[in-house]
Structure 1
Amino acid sequence: MPQKMLQFVHVDRRMPDKRDAEARRHDFNEIYEGFDDRGAADQAARCSQCGVPFCQVHCPVHHNIPDWLRFTAEGRLEEAYEIAAAANTFPEVCGRICPQDRLCEGNCTIEQSKHGTVTIGTVERYIADTAWEKGWVKPRMPSAERGQSVGIIGAGPGGLAAAEQLRAKGYEVHVYDRYDRIGGLMIYGIPGFKLEKHIVQRRAEQFIKQGVVFHTNFEVGRDATLAELRARHGAVLIAAGVYKARDLQAPGSDLGNIIPALKYLTASNRQGLGDSVPEYDSGALNAAGKDVVVIGGGDTAMDCVRTAIRQGARSVKCLYRRNRANMPGSQREVNHAEEEGVELVWQSAPEGFEGKDGLVAGVNAHRIHLGVADATGRQTPQVIAGSTYKLEADLVIKALGFDPEDLPTLFGEPDLRVSRWGTVTVNFRTMMTNLDGVFAAGDIVRGASLVVWAIRDGRDVAAHIHSYLQRKAEVSMPESQESVAAE
């Protein structure tokens, strides 16, 4: 066990053992083994304990990473977990699915000095998994009940992070979600090879023990309007996420077997959870034996291609209009996909689809030239004239991103103000919408983003809701009680 930090000059960067690509193609289990005690301690001890820790600066929840790395190196794992859990509601999730190569690890000081980053994500996973194994993870019970309630729309990472924080402060918390399980995209959108479902489910059980009340299969607008929820609760949080798939308008796009990514991933995850999924059993949402083309270059596209491989597709190609350097998704995920047999077709984009008997039979694509950089620094794609070619395909999955649903109409609340993109508009100092006592956080405000950003937003909005309800309680408090409270 190392006795001091700054071991990066003596200890090489090492990830936990990764399962062989051929073996992992046939199941949905996670691809990395966990660190053992010595391996985690050795890697944690490589931390340089920076005075200005850029890993922490570039972490959306501002994890105190150097401290929990030091405690891990010293074998003080319970303290390491307490520090990690103080900033993050789901350390066991973020340690698995965060794109650390773009966040904490990508900004590690020793990575910049060419010694190789500290494997922060895998150490975080090790800390959290050890905490669960040792029984250190406990529900955060309130010390007293406040007699005020909060309604939360959405049981994804943002809504759950807010629910935990508010319940710990003594509020009665009700979470409303359209799905039959708790977790949002963590349960139905992210495949098991990145995040096994029992990890989400055991955390959900902690929230239930904490006293959070869940209303599943509940659709706002169908089972209750937003106005009715406002009447039930002192404050309401909209943490509904963004689920409307971006579409591709091209000749033949209405052919059968051209499907949106989330529909495909949800069917796969439901089947893995043991649900009856008729469209999966019929082959409509099953890649087995098919030539699959996935359109897109983000993490959702990588989830789709790697799922298709595991379902037994004959071939899997990912069609992306830019090159590897310009991909928005994690480079680690791209590498995993290539190891597993996915073909990345760079600088290509669909221009239409061919069909047979009403079903897609091929993708007509054209080559792309990358021109000058746009305002974001990414090169602008330009079609190369006369470069059309065909890809065989009998299943096409569109992984083009997500937009918000029309919430004012869906929730029966036309006065709810939204941006021109459909995201809910908030006052960023309070995270409140234009409706008094109605707050919003996560993807429904910022657009489709990372789980860790939803967690950050959920924790932030919980603090704003607490301040709002405290002010509301003070205004409504009888004079006699107010004088007692002041004493």
Structure 2
Amino acid sequence: MAKQPMLKFVNVARDMPEKRPPDLRRGDFNEIYGEYAREKAAEQSGRCSQCGVPYCQSHCPLHNNIPDWLRLTAEGRLQEAYEVSQATNTFPEICGRICPQDRLCEGNCVIEQSGHGTVTIGAVEKYITDTAWDEGWVKPITNGGERKEKVAIIGAGPGGLAAADMLRREGVQVTVYDRYDRAGGLMTYGIPGFKLEKDVVMKRIAQLEEGGVDFKLNTDVGTDITFAEIRDSFDAVLIATGVYKTRDLQAPGVGAEGIVNAIDFLTASNRKSFGDAVPEFDSGELNAEGKRVVVIGGGDTAMDCVRTSIRQGATSVKCLYRRDRENMPGSQREVQNAEEEGVEFVWLSAPKGFTGERVEGVMVSKMRLGQPDATGRQVPELIEGADYLEEADLVIKALGFEPEDLPKLWGVDGLEVTRWGTVLADFQTHETSLPGVYACGDIQRGASLVVWAIRDGREAAQAILAQLAGKTTAPVAAE
């Protein structure tokens, strides 16, 4: 009888890939986790209990068939595991690296609830797809015949790229417009290399280019080309711009030099990693080297900023967050990594103001958690008389992102938005108020996760294909 490869969670302990020591990883922007060996990946996959109702799958935005590809990995059938993973996820190697698994699949693992430690789903997902790239299992994008229909996608982030992939596999002609000089959106310029090395993103973009996606980079819609021109030239348009407008603070001294936005700070750092000329970094404006850094915020962007500051050689890095550790929105795994690397978290603290024409300090108000609000989260309350001054040479605002006013920015009438400024669109078909125009990702749902943007992009592509099917009966032959 064949040996049972699964249900080993009682006898085999959870074991993540080895992390590089903090002293080493502080000195570079390389990823901090190593790769599993084949045997270790099989061993850890074999801990899966193969639930009849897999909560890991139901809590994954993409509903990835996690139990099946864990079983295939445990059995050594890695190519099949990759094919199952790729069937529902356009970029599994990216999700394996940056998804907050502790809040999604792993956080809902049944064996975690029973006290045995969750299956290391993210690490196995990363291993499967990295192996697929190494072994040549990741095939070029092909289709059964080129079609004449054309779709424009505005925004080359994860949602737009996921949609482009699905549309090209059906032979649709796809053009992607993006304001930046490289595709990838926040995967390229927002997320640091120690979480997502840039060659991982560039490989997927190259696959899309080789598969026939036409990228129009350095193209700002509303300036270099109008939305009306795009709409007139294509059979459908997908808005996938993301949200890049930084939420601001209202506090005395907030306009001082040395107080910067997270997206500017992270973009400058990532551009340096590409070897670009970045005057704002070289001048010290967006460089933490030798500075006392204070980051304001508690989300994943704040975690990216504090850990980037450490690597740039800051003399100290502190993170202010108005709630406590248990109530912060960022990944607990990222908090642990940051603490190991030397970041100090100052919980229940909020900025009251800033001192100096060039920032010298943050006036901090101490907080306590009061009664829950309508969402169930306890509301931070000010503790009178507990203010103090936190010295700082660089303050980074990581307070989240808001949508730009696209109807005004693009000069388009009839594109309805919500009260939050996001594009109003159906959450299944992703259709907007304009016929033939769709929206997906953060510009529709607000600042969220890469995995949600991928899901939205895939859904929008399916809806666009359904629309196009009503216009033509057969694909045209490639010229």
Fold conserved between structures, TM > 0.5:
yes
Matches within 5 A, 1:99-248: 99-248=100-249
SS at match of 1:8: coil
SS at match of 1:350: strand
CA distance in 2, matches of 1:359, 1:463: 51
**1:301 is aligned with what amino acid?**
A
Q: Is the 8 A contact 2:428 2:459 kept in 1?
A: no
**1:277 is aligned with what amino acid?**
V
1:317 aligns with 318
* Unmatched segments (≥5 aa) in structure 1: 482-487
2:347 aligns with 346
**2:64 is aligned with what amino acid?**
H
SS at match of 1:473: coil
Deviations 1:39-86 (A, max 9, x none): 100000000000100000000000000000000000000000000001
Q: Is the 8 A contact 1:2 1:74 kept in 2?
A: no
* Unmatched segments (≥5 aa) in structure 2: none
Answer with 48-57 or 135-144: which moved more.
135-144
1:455 aligns with 454
1:415 and 2:414 matched: yes
SS at match of 2:379: strand
1:484 aligns with none
1:11 aligns with 12
Q: Which runs of at least 4 in structure 1 moved beyond 3 Å after TM superposition?
A: none
SS at match of 2:160: helix
Give the C-alpha shift of residue 145 in structure 1. Answer: 1.4
Aligned pair count reads 474
CA distance in 1, matches of 2:15, 2:187: 27
CA distance in 2, matches of 1:349, 1:251: 13
**1:37 is aligned with what amino acid?**
R
2:402 aligns with 403
SS at match of 1:94: helix
Give the C-alpha shift of residue 3 in structure 1. Answer: 4.5
CA distance in 2, matches of 1:460, 1:2: 40
Give the C-alpha shift of residue 319 in structure 1. Answer: 0.4
Matches within 5 A, 1:401-480: 401-473=400-472
Q: Is the 8 A contact 1:145 1:171 kept in 2?
A: yes
Q: Is the 8 A contact 2:429 2:459 kept in 1?
A: no
Q: Is the 8 A contact 1:157 1:184 kept in 2?
A: yes
CA distance in 2, matches of 1:49, 1:314: 48
Give the C-alpha shift of residue 2 in structure 1. Answer: 7.0
CA distance in 2, matches of 1:139, 1:361: 53
1:383 and 2:382 matched: yes
Q: Is the 8 A contact 2:151 2:234 kept in 1?
A: yes
Summarize the Cα distance change of 1:2–1:291 in structure 2 as closer, same or farther, 3 Å threshold.
Answer: farther
Deviations 1:160-208 (A, max 9, x none): 0000000101100000000000100000000000000000001111001
CA distance in 1, matches of 2:199, 2:168: 23
Q: Is the 8 A contact 1:158 1:441 kept in 2?
A: yes
Deviations 1:426-481 (A, max 9, x none): 1334211111100000000000000000000000000000111112336xx9xxx9
CA distance in 2, matches of 1:84, 1:67: 9
Q: Is the 8 A contact 1:350 1:363 kept in 2?
A: yes
Give the C-alpha shift of residue 420 in structure 1. Answer: 1.2
1:272 aligns with 273
CA distance in 2, matches of 1:269, 1:444: 23
2:285 aligns with 284
SS at match of 2:69: helix
**2:241 is aligned with what amino acid?**
A
CA distance in 2, matches of 1:111, 1:221: 49
**1:473 is aligned with what amino acid?**
T
Summarize the Cα distance change of 1:321–1:470 in structure 2 as closer, same or farther, 3 Å threshold.
Answer: same
Q: Is the 8 A contact 1:2 1:45 kept in 2?
A: no
Q: Is the 8 A contact 1:3 1:74 kept in 2?
A: no
Deviations 1:305-345 (A, max 9, x none): 00000000010000000000000010000000000000000
1:68 aligns with 69
Deviations 1:261-295 (A, max 9, x none): 00000000000110000010010000000000000
Give the C-alpha shift of residue 375 in structure 1. Answer: 2.1
Q: What RMSD over aligned residues (CA atoms) do the two structures have, in Å?
A: 1.2
1:485 aligns with none
Q: Is the 8 A contact 1:155 1:177 kept in 2?
A: yes
CA distance in 2, matches of 1:185, 1:79: 30
Deviations 1:382-439 (A, max 9, x none): 1111111000001000000000001001112132111111100013342111111000
Summarize the Cα distance change of 1:261–1:81 in structure 2 as closer, same or farther, 3 Å threshold.
Answer: same
CA distance in 2, matches of 1:63, 1:118: 15
CA distance in 1, matches of 2:260, 2:246: 10
Q: Is the 8 A contact 1:2 1:42 kept in 2?
A: no
Give the C-alpha shift of residue 146 in structure 1. Answer: 1.7
1:24 aligns with 25
CA distance in 1, matches of 2:284, 2:415: 41
2:331 aligns with 330
Q: Is the 8 A contact 1:2 1:41 kept in 2?
A: no
Q: Is the 8 A contact 1:101 1:331 kept in 2?
A: yes
Deviations 1:73-129 (A, max 9, x none): 000000000000010011000000000000000000000000000000000000000
CA distance in 2, matches of 1:12, 1:132: 29
Deviations 1:332-369 (A, max 9, x none): 000000000000000000000000xx210000011001
TM-score (norm 1): 0.96
Alignment identity in percent? Answer: 66
1:84 and 2:85 matched: yes
**2:220 is aligned with what amino acid?**
E
TM-score (norm 2): 0.98
CA distance in 2, matches of 1:279, 1:381: 35
CA distance in 2, matches of 1:473, 1:143: 15
SS at match of 1:6: coil
CA distance in 2, matches of 1:146, 1:107: 42
CA distance in 2, matches of 1:375, 1:85: 39
CA distance in 1, matches of 2:222, 2:142: 32
CA distance in 1, matches of 2:451, 2:101: 11
Summarize the Cα distance change of 1:354–1:230 in structure 2 as closer, same or farther, 3 Å threshold.
Answer: same
CA distance in 2, matches of 1:129, 1:64: 18
